[in-house]
Structures are given as structure tokens and as C-alpha cells.
């Protein structure tokens, strides 16, 4: 029987043909990606390009089933391709071991696909692909999982919400003084070890302490003084760094961080009126203790390694791990700096030495402050913000992605929905769906018009660009690139500079806002002058149409704001009116009429999306609609899976 026979019976001959012709880009070949690639080749997709920047790690094997032990350290993309071909040798798969953000993956390159599917694990890459798909006007299927929760949705320029239409939650931050002086929970110690001490020892001198630390109100005198003292302490530690990789380095670092600094802090009596003061530790005193070692530290058997990971180390063991990991990381850094003086070691939960160092230093600090210590396994989860990945969740989400892909290829966007996997809730159903929401009129990413513009960036100046825009009555412009002001009517220093001298090169997005607040994004294509038929620029797309679209969008925005104000007014007048937020209004403003459900019970329960987390996934459902009734009962998604009962655990990884 031909391979396609069952498929034709299920989805019809014409769709099977369209699927076979479609060109699909899959970004990410990890947990979701492996499932997805297998699904794609098994459901008739023949032209697939897969990209992943990473190599295979031992910890991937339990769920990324296209990979096996012999593939460790090999490219995920290449191995995924080879393994998937075993499922269907007729597929044409191009694999790339690269970052999707590389310049060669231009808007034009994206335009070569009928569909893009994201199977990513971080906000940055998702945002990038979102923008590229908007600029190229290619539909994007976005996915994410977190433990037992999952989500899948479709993004199509001007028709649906984009990835950035909803504001994203910033990473959880901690006040500087809590982390640097007054920790009270294990996570404070872990953040200190991972984000402060690790960076100071193995990062670049210019690196900021860390983005997770927020400065407290500097008007407060005590805090300002304490911050100054902390800065001086950091400086003193940097001086010790000069002796890195020499005899006694570990002891010097240890005594500085866990004795001298703690001693100073302890002397600040006001700080300890309501808190338990910290107790300084001395390196040699601990190592000379005759403590009973459980004997697992040097053991290499699986059982012993597991034990080492899962039990809390004794103080002496912790100091030993501190010393050994510091030594290894120092040697590594020294070797790296022989070829690149700016090199740094980054914390990676899967890098045993970095994890050892963070576990040891976090626990030493916890010991100093009388805070509960954690096992290496627990520290790994907390430092990596890990929620265990569940293979079944990935499989279900990847299955739903293919269902959406069929609809998109079949030109039935109206049938697509956002679906949530909500296992383990009080709801009776596993999957709930809602209509795709319309774009947020205030979105600063998808409410722009994108035009590709060809020019020779070596000879074209900013003034040439301004002249071109003036020709379209786009005047008094402000020009920016990635938040950098290139030109505005009060800042014309760059006018005579060439684009290339301002790093406005091939693939860059140049944002132009005119006096009427119309925003056009120009996607630069660097070409030789000879190819431009005597012109300085060639614009792909219709500028007039883009301007008209912008004018309409501005009007929509004004209408939406007027409606909002009116609604707020009604709300003020009548306290019984329950307000819905503007997002929810859009959600119920379906793209078209009722559709055949993608999955679940078909119930159109109003769901509330949580905002995105820093490194991880698209919004996850916060919904609970009890027993099919329409009463909403919001549940905070972050409460669902927590490691060791710590409330910090808001970031989600699959």
C-alpha cells in the first residue's frame, strides 16, 4: 500500500498534494522539535528545513527520541534530520547547525517558506522569528510546553495577535541588598552564586553584576552606603583574581567571600536587629575538621553519583567541591583567554563544573546565613529555572502543531485556534481552545508596515534615504535601528554618513516614523549599485499602500482608545459592570464565524493568557472553567509546577 493511502483517506488527496509541495521551516530540534519533525515527515511534508544551534546533551536523551547515546555532542539539527529520514526516506530535509538569528536568514530567506514552526525554548529567538515572519508575511505556528502544560497558536501578520502583542513578564528580579547582604531563602543564595560571584570570577570585567538584581531606592542613606561598601568588596575580590590559577587561590577567594566580607557585614549591627546575623567561615578550619565523609564524593558508580547529586553535602565536602570546581574553571578560563583575552565562562546547568561551583558556593552562603542547604540536583533545577520536561506534553503539542499546519496549508486560517494543554486541573477536559485573537492595535511589532529596500549600503547615505522618503511625502522622519537613534529632525549628525558606516547593513531593520506617527520598517538589502538600473534604491512592495495601512491602523488605535475610555467611564458610573480587558475583547472578536473545533470539547471558554516568561514559553493558560460553566476562576500558572516548594520558580523551560 502506498505510504500516502491512509493520509489521503484522512485528509483528502488535494491536501496531501498541497502538504507535499509546502516548504516548511522548523526552528529548534529539541523536545518539541524532535516530535514535530517525526510528525511532519510521517504526515506527508516533504520539504523541510530544520535549524538548531545546539549539540546533543546526555540530558536530552530521555525525551528527544531522535537522539541516542552515540549522538552526544553532535549537531541536533543534523542528527534529527538523519533519524527522521528513517521514518520517511522520501522527505527532503535540509539541516542547519546554526542560530536562526544569523544575518543570512534574511526576510527574503523566510519568504521562501510557506510556513514556519517554532519549537524554541527562549523568548529572544521567539521574538526574532516572530518579527521575521511578520516582515516576510509568512504564517508562524508558535508552541511551548512547561511540565504538564502546553500551548500552541498561529501568528499571521495583520490577521492574528503576534508574539509581542501581549506584554511579557520580565524575569523575576531581587533587590540588590537581599542578594548581596541579607539573603533569607535558598534561592537568594543561588542567585548570588550564579549571578554575582560566578560572573565576577569567570565573566568579563565590564559585565554588570546581573540583570536579575534591581537597585533599591538610592535615596535611602543606609542602602546607598551599603551599596558603596559592596562595590568596594567586589573590587577587592577582583584584585584577588589576579592570582587566579596559582597555589592557594581557592583559599584566598573563600576567606575573602565567606570570612572577610561576612565579618564586615556582621559588624553592621543595625542590619541584624531583626535578622539572625551571618557566621563567617574559615577555609582551613573546615578542612581540618575530622568529619565523617559518606564516601560518595569520589565514587564513580552510578549509584554514588546519583547519591552525590541528591543529598545535601556536608560542609567539608562542600568546601572540597568549591575548591576543585574553582580550580578547574580557573584553568579552563586561563586556556580560553590564551586565544581570546575577553573570553568568559558562562553558567550552564548542564556544565558539571559550573553547576558544582554554584551548588557549593550557594550552600556555603546558605550555611553562613543559617539558611537551608540544597542538593546539587535541587540547585540545578532552581538555578536553571527548570520545570521537568514531560515527553508526552511535547508529543501532544507537536501533534497539534501538525493539525494547525494542515489548516494553514489548506488556507483555512479561520479554523485555527490557540489550544492549551491543561492536564492536572479541575477541568474535565485535557485540551481547551479559543479563537485566535486579533492583533493588539497598540502592538509596537506587528502594527508596523514592513518593506524591503535594496541599496548599496557602502555608498548610500542617511540623507539619500531621507530624500527618498520625502519623495513619498514621508517627512520629518525619525530613523532608528534596534532602539538606536540614527536621525531625527533635531539630530542630523549622521546625515552625510554612509549606511554601512552606521552598521546599517544587509538584513538590518530600519524603523522610520514620520510626523503623522506612521511607522514603516525598512528591511535593508545590500546590493551592488550596478544591479539597481541607475537608481539608488529599489523598494519591494507598495509604499503608498503601506502608508495607507498605517493611517488606518492609527485610526483603529484612536477608536480603540476612545472605546476604552468610554468603557472606563461606564465602569466608573456602574460598579456592577465587570470590566474585561481589551485583550479579552479582541479574543472574542473572532477572525470569522464559529469553526470546527481543533480539539478539546469545543467549548469556547474565555481563557486568560498569562504574560510571557523571560526565557521560556508563550503564554500559558491560566484558566479554569469549572464543569463547563462560564464562571472564570483564574489560577496562576506559576503555582502549578514548583521545585521544592520555592515560590521563585516562575520561569518555565521545556
Ligand X SMILES: Nc1ncnc2c1ncn2[C@@H]1O[C@H](COP(=O)(O)OP(=O)(O)OP(=O)(O)O)[C@@H](O)[C@H]1O
The reply to whether 33 sits in an annotated binding site is: yes
Long-range contacts of 526-531 (CB under 8 A, 24+ apart): 526/454, 526/455, 526/456, 526/457, 526/458, 526/500, 527/454, 527/455, 527/456, 528/456, 529/456, 529/459, 531/454
Shortest distance, position 564 Cβ to Zn ion, whole Å:
17
**Residue 115 found at the interface with Zn ion (CB under 5 A):** no
All cell numbers assigned to 62: 530521555
61 or 414, CB closer to ligand X?
61
Residue 353: contacted member of Zn ion, ligand X, none (CB under 5 to 8 Å, by partner type): none
The reply to whether 56 sits in an annotated binding site is: no
Shortest distance, position 630 Cβ to ligand X, whole Å:
34
The reply to whether 76 sits in an annotated binding site is: yes
Helix axis angle for 352-369 and 376-383, nearest 10°, is 100
117 or 286, CB closer to ligand X?
117
**Residue 150 found at the interface with ligand X (CB under 6 A):** no
Interface with Zn ion (CB under 5 A), residue from 107, 136, 165, 607: 165
Q: C-alpha distances in angstroms, 232 versus 147, 190, 197, 236, 340?
A: 42, 22, 14, 6, 28
Interface with Zn ion (CB under 5 A), residue from 446, 468, 486, 547: 446
**Strand, coil or helix: what is 96?**
strand
**E strands in 299-357:** none
**Residue 133 found at the interface with Zn ion (CB under 5 A):** no
Distance CA 57, CA 79 (A): 12
Q: Which residue has the cell 527618498?
A: 468
All cell numbers assigned to 265: 557585614
**Residue 162 found at the interface with Zn ion (CB under 5 A):** yes
Shortest distance, position 229 Cβ to ligand X, whole Å:
38
For 548, residues 6+ apart whose C-beta sits below 8 A from its C-beta are none
The reply to whether 534 sits in an annotated binding site is: no
**Residue 71 found at the interface with ligand X (CB under 6 A):** no
Long-range contacts of 297-300 (CB under 8 A, 24+ apart): 297/321
Which residue is at the shortest CB distance from ligand X?
30
DSSP calls for 99-157? -TTSTTS-HHHHHT-SEEEE----HHHHHHHHHHHHHHT--EEEEEEETTEEEEEEE-T
The reply to whether 165 sits in an annotated binding site is: yes
Binding string to ligand X for residues 77 to 106, with x set by CB under 6 A, is what? ----------------------xxx-----
The stretch among 256-264, 437-445, 513-521, 628-636 that binds Zn ion (CB under 5 A) is 437-445
Shortest distance, position 162 Cβ to ligand X, whole Å:
18
**Residue 140 found at the interface with Zn ion (CB under 5 A):** no
**Residue 59 found at the interface with ligand X (CB under 6 A):** yes
Interface with Zn ion (CB under 5 A), residue from 250, 360, 443, 650: 443
Nearest to 250 by CA among 322, 197, 301, 190: 322
Residues annotated as catalytic (active site), given as ranges: 177
Which residues are documented as binding site for Zn(2+)?
A: 162, 165, 443, 446
Q: Which residues are annotated as a binding site?
A: 28-33, 52, 60-63, 76, 121-126, 162, 165, 443, 446
- Which stretches of the chain bind Zn ion, using CB under 5 A? 162, 164-165, 443, 445-446
Amino acid at each position: 500500500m502506498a505510504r500516502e493511502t491512509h493520509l489521503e483517506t484522512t485528509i483528502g488527496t488535494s491536501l496531501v498534494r498541497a502538504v507535499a509541495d509546502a516548504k516548511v521551516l522548523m526552528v529548534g530540534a529539541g523536545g518539541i522539535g524532535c516530535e514535530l519533525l517525526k510528525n511532519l515527515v510521517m504526515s506527508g511534508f516533504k520539504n523541510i528545513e530544520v535549524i538548531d544551534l545546539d549539540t546533543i546533551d546526555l540530558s536530552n536523551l530521555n525525551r528527544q527520541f531522535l537522539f541516542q547515546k552515540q549522538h552526544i555532542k553532535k549537531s541536533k539539527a543534523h542528527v534529527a534530520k538523519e533519524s527522521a529520514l528513517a521514518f520517511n526516506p522520501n522527505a527532503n530535509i535540509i539541516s542547519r547547525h546554526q542560530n536562526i538569528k544569523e544575518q543570512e536568514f534574511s526576510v527574503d530567506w523566510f519568504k521562501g517558506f510557506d510556513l514556519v514552526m517554532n519549537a524554541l525554548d527562549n523568548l529572544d529567538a521567539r521574538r526574532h522569528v516572530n518579527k521575521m515572519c511578520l516582515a516576510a508575511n509568512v504564517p508562524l505556528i508558535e508552541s511551548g510546553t512547561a511540565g504538564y502544560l502546553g500551548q500552541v497558536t498561529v501568528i499571521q501578520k495583520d490577521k492574528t495577535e503576534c508574539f509581542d502583542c501581549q506584554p511579557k513578564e520580565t524575569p523575576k528580579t531581587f533587590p540588590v541588598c537581599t542578594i548581596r547582604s541579607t539573603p533569607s531563602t535558598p534561592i537568594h543564595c543561588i542567585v548570588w552564586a550564579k549571578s554575582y560571584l560566578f560572573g565576577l570570577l569567570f565573566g568579563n570585567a565590564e559585565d554588570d553584576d546581573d540583570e536579575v538584581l534591581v537597585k533599591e531606592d538610592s535615596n535611602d542613606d543606609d542602602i546607598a552606603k551599603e551599596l558603596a561598601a559592596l562595590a568596594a568588596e567586589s573590587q577587592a575580590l577582583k584584585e584577588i583574581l589576579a592570582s587566579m590559577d596559582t597555589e592557594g587561590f581557592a583559599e584566598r577567594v573563600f576567606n575573602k567571600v565567606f570570612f572577610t566580607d561576612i565579618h564586615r557585614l556582621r559588624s553592621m549591627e543595625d542590619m541584624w536587629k531583626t535578622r539572625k546575623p551571618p557566621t563567617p567561615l574559615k577555609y582551613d578550619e573546615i578542612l581540618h575538621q575530622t568529619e565523617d565523609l559518606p564516601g560518595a564524593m569520589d565514587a564513580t558508580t552510578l549509584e554514588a553519583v546519583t547519591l552525590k547529586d541528591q543529598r545535601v553535602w556536608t560542609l567539608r565536602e562542600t568546601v572540597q567541591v568549591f575548591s576543585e570546581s574553582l580550580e578547574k574553571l580557573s584553568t579552563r578560563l586561563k586556556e580560553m583567554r590564551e586565544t581570546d583575552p575577553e573570553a568568559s565562562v558562562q553558567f550552564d546547568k548542564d556544565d558539571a563544573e559550573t553547576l558544582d561551583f554554584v551548588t557549593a558556593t550557594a550552600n556555603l552562603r546558605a550555611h553562613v546565613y543559617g539558611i537551608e542547604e540544597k542538593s546539587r540536583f535541587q540547585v540545578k533545577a532552581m538555578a536553571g529555572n527548570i520545570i521537568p520536561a514531560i515527553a508526552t506534553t511535547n508529543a501532544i503539542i507537536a501533534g497539534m502543531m501538525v493539525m494547525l499546519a494542515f489548516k494553514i496549508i489548506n488556507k483555512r486560517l479561520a479554523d485555527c485556534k490557540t489550544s492549551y494543554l491543561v492536564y492536572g486541573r479541575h477541568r474535565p477536559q485535557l485540551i481547551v481552545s479559543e479563537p485566535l485573537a486579533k492583533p493588539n492595535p497598540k502592538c509596537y511589532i506587528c502594527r508596523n508596515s514592513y518593506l524591503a529596500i535594496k541599496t548599496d549600503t557602502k555608498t548610500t547615505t542617511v540623507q539619500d534615504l531621507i530624500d527618498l522618503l520625502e519623495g513619498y511625502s514621508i517627512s520629518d522622519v525619525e530613523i532608528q535601528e534596534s532602539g538606536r537613534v540614527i536621525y531625527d529632525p533635531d539630530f542630523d549628525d549622521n546625515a552625510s554618513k554612509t549606511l554601512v558606516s552606521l552598521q546599517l547593513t544587509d538584513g538590518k531593520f530600519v524603523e522610520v516614523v514620520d510626523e503623522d506617527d506612521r511607522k514603516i520598517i525598512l528591511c535593508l538589502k545590500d546590493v551592488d549599485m550596478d544591479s539597481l538600473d541607475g537608481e539608488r534604491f529599489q523598494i519591494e512592495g507598495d509604499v503608498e499602500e503601506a502608508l495607507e495601512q498605517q493611517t488606518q491602523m492609527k485610526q483603529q488605535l484612536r477608536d480603540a482608545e476612545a472605546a476604552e475610555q468610554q468603557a472606563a467611564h461606564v465602569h466608573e458610573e456602574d460598579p456592577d459592570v465587570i470590566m474585561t480587558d481589551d485583550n479579552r475583547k479582541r479574543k472574542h472578536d473572532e477572525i470569522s464565524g464559529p469553526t470546527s473545533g481543533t480539539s478539546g470539547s469545543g467549548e469556547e471558554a474565555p481563557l486568560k493568557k498569562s504574560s510571557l516568561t523571560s526565557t521560556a514559553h508563550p503564554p500559558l493558560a491560566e484558566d479554569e472553567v469549572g464543569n463547563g460553566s462560564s464562571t472564570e476562576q483564574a489560577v496562576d500558572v506559576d503555582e502549578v509546577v514548583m521545585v521544592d516548594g520555592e515560590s521563585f520558580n516562575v520561569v518555565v523551560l521545556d
